[in-house]
Structure 1
Amino acid sequence: MDTLRLILLFVHILGFAALFGGLLTQAGPGPKRVNSLMRDGAGTAFVAGLALVGVLEAGDTSPDHAKVAVKLVVGLVILGLVMANVKKEQISQAVWGSILGLTVVNIAVAVFWSSAHV
């Protein structure tokens, strides 16, 4: 079970890295759009996060449910913003900044909220 948890954690981190990288490739002036890295990264991070919580619940360790709830809500908003704008030719600076800010918040919650596994 621990190997599966580590694999899911790795995939979850890769998803956020893809999302963050897709955002950063558009930093600076110029038009912004939801690219494939953002779309795939947001989806991967969300699904892997759900699976990770499921594995933790099934195992001996119970995750911090408050932390999981915060990450779930922020992740849903990120995924919603990305998917709602995926077919648009261009997104506003505000939408792009919101996705970037929420991504950073979700990463910060994961890193700084003290918990053993989630």
Structure 2
Amino acid sequence: METLRDLVVLIHITGFAITFGAWFTALATRRKRVTRIMDVGLWVSLASGLILAAPWPEGIELDYLKLGLKFVILAALGGTLGVGMHKQDKTGVRAPAGIFWAVGGLCFTNAAIAVLW
């Protein structure tokens, strides 16, 4: 059962890597656009995070304050991605700089909480 949980943790980390990697690629290429692949990473992180929030295997202790904070940040990230994509689709130009930087900041903050808390 522990191996299964470790596999879900790996999938969760992969979701972060997809989101942050897509954001960093957009930054490095100076496109600074919100992309659909960032959405894919968000959904992978959300689905695997909800599975990890269940107390399994038996005897595992969870920090529900940490989990709640990470969920709020993930929801804010989803909202930011949604607004950014809507603005891009509506105007045909890249998302406003504040939205683009918020995506990277929220994604990085969520990872930092996971590692440092």
Q: Given the two structures, how large is their TM-score scaled by the length of structure 1?
A: 0.84
Residue 85 of structure 2 contacts residue 95 of structure 2 at CA under 8 Å; is this kept in 1? no
| TM-superposition CA deviations, 1:19-74 (whole Å, max 9, x none) | 001101111584432213211001111111111112x3563212101111111110
Query: 2:78: which partner in 1?
Result: 79
Q: TM-score, normalised by structure 2?
A: 0.85
Maintained 8 Å contact 1:15/1:40: yes
Give me the whole-angstrom Cα distance separating, in 1, the residues matched to 2:14 and 2:28: 24
Residue 3 (str. 1) matches residue 7 (str. 2): no
- Structure 2 regions of 5+ residues with no counterpart? none
Which of structure 1's runs of 4+ aligned residues deviate more than 6 A?
A: none
**Partner secondary structure for residue 26 of structure 2:** coil
Identity of aligned residues (%): 29
Contact preservation (8 Å) 2:84, 2:96: no
Alpha-carbon distance in structure 2 between the residues aligned to 1:43 and 1:28: 23
Superposed CA offset, 1:89-110 (max 9, x none)? 4211100100101111100000
- In the alignment, structure 1 residue 52 sits paired with structure 2 residue 52: yes
Higher helix share: 2
